[in-house]
Amino acid sequence: MTAAAIRILGLDPGLSAMGWGVIVLEGTRLSHIEHGVIATKPALGLGLRLLALHRELTAVIARLTPQAIAVEQAFVARDPQAALKIGHARAVALLAAAQAGLEIAEYAPNHIKKCVVGAGHAGKEQVQFMVKRLLPACGVTQADAADALAAAIAHAHTAGSRAHVLSDLRANARGVVAG
């Protein structure tokens, strides 16, 4: 019996550029569906930029019909203004996902890198290289879109592990009941 396919939307939130990518997990097989970057211009002002992100992301969700969304958590370095802008973009992403009734998962950047590259402190080039290796048909060239696909891959890995554990638990429970 094969597991049902699940479409996963990965997001790399940003106010100027929000990367997104959709993959399908079917059993242990990953397939690329589509990816892109939603860009906004500072001249629009914060409110209109957030509205543009929401509209575009809502359209992506409606068109590609994912069941789950994997959002990269904010990495807060030294710039509180940058962190605040990413926080606004993340809020838009979470709102759009909740409005669509999607399963929402959030992952730390190091967790995503560890799942995709094998090292939590991998560079953007390494992430992009491994995304292309794991999804050969994607042809991703934009770092934001590659990061979004990496978030989706990390969720697929986590969802696959979760499903495997549940399957093992069910099998063990049947063995205990049958034995």
**Positions marked active-site:** 12, 72, 144
CA–CA separation, 12 and 17 (whole Å): 8
CA–CA separation, 60 and 24 (whole Å): 15
**Are the C-beta atoms of 67 and 3 separated by less than 8 Å?**
no
CA–CA separation, 44 and 127 (whole Å): 31
CA–CA separation, 123 and 110 (whole Å): 10
With b for 16 or more beta-carbon neighbours within 10 A and e for fewer, the 30-59 pattern comes to bebbebbbbbbeeeeeeeebbebbbebbbe
Residue 161 buriedness (CB in 10 A; 0-12 / 13-18 / 19+)? exposed
